[in-house]
Structure 1
């Protein structure tokens, strides 16, 4: 009883918990009733190739399975547990639904297979087909409901019958050995419409029982030890059986009999009754294996609370935590399928579900390996990302080889489940490798970006917005989001001024506040907070230290100050300009007019509202104009701003120069591939009179400026205030270059 219990009460070891269910599921109905047809059609040599190819795919999958199983503490749920903990809640949830359904319906298929063989053996009971199938399903349910221990003991008895049936076949095949049959059956003799691929498709479902032991993961004393050893041993033993059968069948009977006689193995056997008992044992053991596996998958799935309606089935019973509620549901599903009758129409999709599970298991191991996550430390050493990738491709290839229509339907089905779970935004309570995959992609991309020579064509806005805590100046992060959405990177920065020792412990709380603001407003942005004695020092440290490699801020977005802070503002932007960063200063009068007592959500809604009017770019040359026009274009790309036409505004002092300027602006539009309306204003009036009048109905106005030298801060402030006048939304821009409109 040591192996049965694995040294722990109610727990199973390698032989009873993994090897036995895997072997009994693999050596099933196809071996007894269809393998002769495979050998007769394909010939001995090609039949051996078919077996080896199928075993190669299942072996690769088992290597992946063993790798993941020895990298984590395996609990109940088998393949569902392993895939969900690697590929995440979306794939895990999809596999949970899919794999449970396949296992539950498989119970009905095996019960019907048993009943068909039973009816042939006892013709008088053939009219009572549904009653016999119901009785067998009920008997299977009772065995599993009592507990896995009782079921394992039943499977030992079935294994003994299977061994006796194989012994009977081998004895008869050796006696009937005929060299002429051997020579004639070496080459294929395919019937019309048959080929090597159709024979492979016929045989492959026979080897898909490798998960039978994994489904018992929660009942194993040492899953990380038993799953690799038991599954690989089952594959090796059943490979010997199938390979020897392929040779002996071809030596014992002519091809015609192998193809046309589904019970040819019984006719070859010394004791035909043993083969009949073997067919019964094979179908019944497969039904028991599925009846044991399906509830455990559902129980583990329900406990993860992906779907609240299934939580009822997560409860366990007794000291061994038997999933009896889930077992009852499995019995009901199987019984409904039995009452519906013929399941041949849905059999292909069940096979596809198994293949998708195996493929995703290989994919999970592949991703675990290539992400080089430090947590990936499997004790099983015989798996590599190459073997996992080959296993994935093999599973997908077999699916389309068997039936490309059902393969497409199955992939679409799991894709739909994945989308549905993702749309519900369910958060897993366990770690998966999604972040590891993204980290590895980002790492490689950053290293590659670091090696690439910079070209103005690839300029993107990487904006650091000095936004405070977010809601204090909501127009800043919202404008930054519009300018970078889908094209650049936005960072919301906050400088905590004062003594560092007093504020250092508050930095994390400020960053959390920013992160909550980003999540609530659904911004694509990153938060960053620094503590410095002075604002200028904080800005300088952020510009120097924030970012990595080629992803560093190239633009700083800030608010336009009130008059009393004009001098400090000038000092701050000099720091930014000295570090060769572009400066954007947003002067929104609506922000100035809002009182601190206004409702926060109402204020945010107002700032998200896109105003009517044009996007006016006041052009004075390429120095600032290139960035101004590009930012106007990026703003216009946002869905809410697409009805706001870009206007290129320019002032000339004589009518004679207007045609030449308009032509130049048209050429600029063609070269930059940016659509705008040229608007040349002929006047000799000063800018502070022209701009507020001509852009009075604009949604936003973009104006260039130059960072002032020390001592000229107030002069700059008053000049730009005069030019902006009473315009409600103005964005002042000082470009550091780095982009080219013609690129």
Structure 2
């Protein structure tokens, strides 16, 4: 883009007053103020009306602080609350809010158009036009105004703001003349009626303070969003709050209770120049409708451009040099028109309240997470906020939702949950980050520090397996067994060794780790890749066992595959030796299958030779059987004993051991002089056999292949297990 076109684009955007303060204030000082605030004071009384105002303003103030914190921490583009939330909490939360907030804003057009129509019909009762006809014509005028472009609409709002302020001044002047202390006293307390208690009245009023989103929704049309959004938002909250307090006091002081809750137009009746109030309410409702009609399509456009749902991409198209969302404007018009034909103010307001509270709560949640996890990238220039305040805002929004209507709150949250699940299941890849990884890091850090301070106990033993599987693709069965034996309760790291010099193979190491990570994700293995460059395999294993992992999450078990090749015997023996000396348990897998594609058939057999290795074998077999592919296979313990052994007593000991370990298994104890042959005869049909072994020390280590080959030759998969001593069945 050339400098001239950039300058033209920037000059067509808006500042704080025109882009944020004016649309926000006009939406806040809208239909609720003119047509429903008198009823709020009438039913609630002055004190409760001020409490409702304070509670609503507190929620909007805290949300404004959260908005300002998030908005000043990023380069804000179009999409308003959706953009801020999606770039903080991620695509799932962002998508939920985009849908709900768009619907809320679109239906809000109905609210304001219906309010305009009520005021128009009251001001011109002799016009003779049906209510829905006037509302439809008004909706068409609003649609046409916004369809032309935001620039024209913003300039129109300056005129509307002037008329609105004169209308409020007219009411203030007239109400002051008719105010009395006696009337004020009579209106201090509440006059609750069926359907009009505190929270239903709060729900009726709350849409009045949701106008702060009108300015946020214009984020893509602002010259400096990070500056204009905080300034314009807080200024609109402060100015509108002062005006509402003044109106509440004057309504209570100038108007008897029966008139406040009646069907009359109280603010017009008390005004010094009544026609100014008619003009004011007409302008206010029209401007609020314009603000919502401008804001809602921009949310849909931004959402569509992020390509979350491909069917919505059509609405992402912009028109003209400022990329007006005209396609989304047309859809918004039809939604608003459907609302006009279906409902009235008192029906629509609580539904909008629920959707806005959901958006407000999520906005606060986004700021809470950003601050709570202490992500270094969260550096907002707006400093007057803390994660605890945002958390209170989120909890407050949720609480108010249920206090207003438990049914609608439950329905709204359920719908949001369903939509979140749909988006999450789609596994949409986006080009922006979110707070999930920061929150995960925060939890992991705290958990690691806690593990570091806790004393180890066998009760808390979990498998943390380092699999020496190379790139993984050629030894898929090792990755499978490691994941089966952790069963979602431990950690699996898949190690690959690249032979050579680190300086020479540094780039290759990075590429190999990326390839392995992609492979693990494709195969859906919950495992971590780890690649090292070393001159020899033995040195690499030593480095991995010393350095891989963090704190209490270091590997406690090494898994490797069996190799019958003579040239591999030395490396195999050295690996067993270093693992044993570093007090790591060992699992050696010999399998005739590269991967399991069908259900397993046969027993899960355990060759019980001693209690130490038996404890780890039994635990690994138990974890193996918790996987769906293994859970139907029966567990069997086979224990060959010398011919003169007390078989019955040994069987009782095994039963007591299993009872103590809370694991069910068939027990086969056989007196024999040839344990290997007994195992061969007893194990069939076998899916897998766990057998204990003890890695020999010193020079004898090189004979390990010869010693273990007869066991490996047994039918089915064979898993050799060495327990380093940190597992106990009694824990």
TM-score using structure 2 length = 0.96
CA contact (8 A) 2:645 2:671 kept: no
Most deviating of 189-198 and 720-729: 189-198
Instruction: Indicate how the Cα distance of structure 1 residues 557 and 160 shifts in structure 2: closer, same or farther if over 3 A, else same.
Output: same
Deviations 1:306-328 (A, max 9, x none): 11122222222222222222222
CA distance in 2, matches of 1:21, 1:612: 70
1:485, CA displacement in angstroms?
Answer: 2.3
Name the counterpart of 2:66: 64
Name the counterpart of 1:224: 226
CA distance in 1, matches of 2:203, 2:59: 13
Instruction: Indicate how the Cα distance of structure 1 residues 116 and 251 shifts in structure 2: closer, same or farther if over 3 A, else same.
Output: closer
Name the counterpart of 1:534: 536
Whether 2:643 is the aligned partner of 1:651: answer: no
SS across alignment from 1:292 = helix
Instruction: Indicate how the Cα distance of structure 1 residues 259 and 342 shifts in structure 2: closer, same or farther if over 3 A, else same.
Output: closer
Name the counterpart of 2:296: 294
Name the counterpart of 2:406: 404
Name the counterpart of 1:670: 659
Whether 2:705 is the aligned partner of 1:702: answer: no
1:125, CA displacement in angstroms?
Answer: 4.3
The number of residue pairs the alignment matches comes to 724
Task: Structure 2 unaligned segments of length 5 or more: list them.
Answer: 1-6
CA contact (8 A) 1:692 1:725 kept: no
1:341, CA displacement in angstroms?
Answer: 5.5
CA contact (8 A) 2:564 2:705 kept: no
Name the counterpart of 1:423: 425
1:492, CA displacement in angstroms?
Answer: 0.6
Name the counterpart of 2:326: 324
SS across alignment from 1:643 = coil
CA contact (8 A) 2:115 2:345 kept: no
SS across alignment from 1:312 = helix
Whether 2:672 is the aligned partner of 1:683: answer: yes
Name the counterpart of 1:525: 527
1:146 pairs, out of 136, 145, 148, with: 148
1:105, CA displacement in angstroms?
Answer: 2.2
CA contact (8 A) 1:692 1:726 kept: yes
1:641 pairs, out of 630, 635, 647, with: 630
Name the counterpart of 2:4: none
1:186, CA displacement in angstroms?
Answer: 2.3
1:227, CA displacement in angstroms?
Answer: 0.7
Whether 2:686 is the aligned partner of 1:723: answer: no
Task: Structure 1 unaligned segments of length 5 or more: list them.
Answer: 592-602
Whether 2:83 is the aligned partner of 1:81: answer: yes
2:180 pairs, out of 163, 178, 181, with: 178
Name the counterpart of 2:307: 305
Name the counterpart of 2:508: 506
1:720, CA displacement in angstroms?
Answer: 1.7
Deviations 1:255-274 (A, max 9, x none): 22222244122211111112
SS across alignment from 1:712 = helix
SS across alignment from 2:217 = helix
CA contact (8 A) 1:687 1:723 kept: no
Instruction: Indicate how the Cα distance of structure 1 residues 39 and 333 shifts in structure 2: closer, same or farther if over 3 A, else same.
Output: closer
Name the counterpart of 1:594: none
SS across alignment from 2:77 = coil
CA distance in 2, matches of 1:21, 1:257: 31
SS across alignment from 2:670 = strand
CA contact (8 A) 2:603 2:684 kept: no
Deviations 1:384-433 (A, max 9, x none): 11211111111112211221111111111111111001111101111212
Matched ranges for 1:581-660 at <5 A: 581-588=584-591, 590-591=592-593, 604=595, 607-654=596-643, 657-660=646-649
Whether 2:574 is the aligned partner of 1:567: answer: no
Most deviating of 572-581 and 311-320: 311-320
CA distance in 1, matches of 2:117, 2:441: 54
Name the counterpart of 2:721: 733
CA contact (8 A) 2:640 2:679 kept: no
2:446 pairs, out of 434, 444, 447, with: 444
Instruction: Indicate how the Cα distance of structure 1 residues 246 and 339 shifts in structure 2: closer, same or farther if over 3 A, else same.
Output: closer
Most deviating of 29-38 and 453-462: 29-38
1:500, CA displacement in angstroms?
Answer: 4.0
1:45, CA displacement in angstroms?
Answer: 2.1
CA distance in 2, matches of 1:499, 1:283: 74
Name the counterpart of 2:278: 276
CA distance in 2, matches of 1:343, 1:167: 26
Deviations 1:65-106 (A, max 9, x none): 111111111111100100000000111111112211221222
CA contact (8 A) 2:577 2:701 kept: no
Whether 2:179 is the aligned partner of 1:191: answer: no
Deviations 1:676-730 (A, max 9, x none): 111112222x222222221131110000111112221343322221234332210
CA contact (8 A) 2:537 2:571 kept: no
Name the counterpart of 1:711: 699
1:346, CA displacement in angstroms?
Answer: 5.2
CA distance in 1, matches of 2:343, 2:39: 26
CA contact (8 A) 1:485 1:524 kept: no
1:169 pairs, out of 159, 168, 171, with: 171
2:462 pairs, out of 460, 463, 473, with: 460
CA contact (8 A) 1:89 1:428 kept: yes
SS across alignment from 1:640 = coil
1:499, CA displacement in angstroms?
Answer: 4.1
SS across alignment from 1:306 = coil
Instruction: Indicate how the Cα distance of structure 1 residues 262 and 616 shifts in structure 2: closer, same or farther if over 3 A, else same.
Output: farther
Whether 2:343 is the aligned partner of 1:338: answer: no
CA distance in 2, matches of 1:527, 1:656: 48
CA contact (8 A) 2:602 2:684 kept: no
SS across alignment from 1:333 = helix
CA distance in 2, matches of 1:241, 1:181: 20
SS across alignment from 2:41 = helix
SS across alignment from 2:714 = coil
CA distance in 2, matches of 1:206, 1:233: 16
Name the counterpart of 1:384: 386
1:108, CA displacement in angstroms?
Answer: 2.4
CA distance in 2, matches of 1:631, 1:680: 21
CA distance in 2, matches of 1:23, 1:314: 28
Instruction: Indicate how the Cα distance of structure 1 residues 318 and 192 shifts in structure 2: closer, same or farther if over 3 A, else same.
Output: closer
1:120 pairs, out of 119, 122, 139, with: 122
1:496, CA displacement in angstroms?
Answer: 1.5
Deviations 1:271-328 (A, max 9, x none): 1112222221222111101110011111111111111122222222222222222222
1:193, CA displacement in angstroms?
Answer: 5.5
Most deviating of 137-146 and 29-38: 29-38
Deviations 1:427-452 (A, max 9, x none): 11112121111111111111111111
SS across alignment from 1:493 = strand
Instruction: Indicate how the Cα distance of structure 1 residues 544 and 77 shifts in structure 2: closer, same or farther if over 3 A, else same.
Output: same
TM-score using structure 1 length = 0.94
CA contact (8 A) 1:557 1:585 kept: yes
1:153, CA displacement in angstroms?
Answer: 1.6
SS across alignment from 2:525 = coil
Deviations 1:216-241 (A, max 9, x none): 11111111111111110110011111
1:48, CA displacement in angstroms?
Answer: 1.6
1:513, CA displacement in angstroms?
Answer: 2.3
CA contact (8 A) 1:295 1:327 kept: yes
Most deviating of 337-346 and 661-670: 337-346
Name the counterpart of 1:599: none
Name the counterpart of 2:3: none
SS across alignment from 1:472 = coil
Instruction: Indicate how the Cα distance of structure 1 residues 193 and 319 shifts in structure 2: closer, same or farther if over 3 A, else same.
Output: closer
CA contact (8 A) 1:6 1:221 kept: no
CA distance in 2, matches of 1:400, 1:82: 25
Name the counterpart of 1:545: 547
Name the counterpart of 1:471: 473
1:472, CA displacement in angstroms?
Answer: 1.1
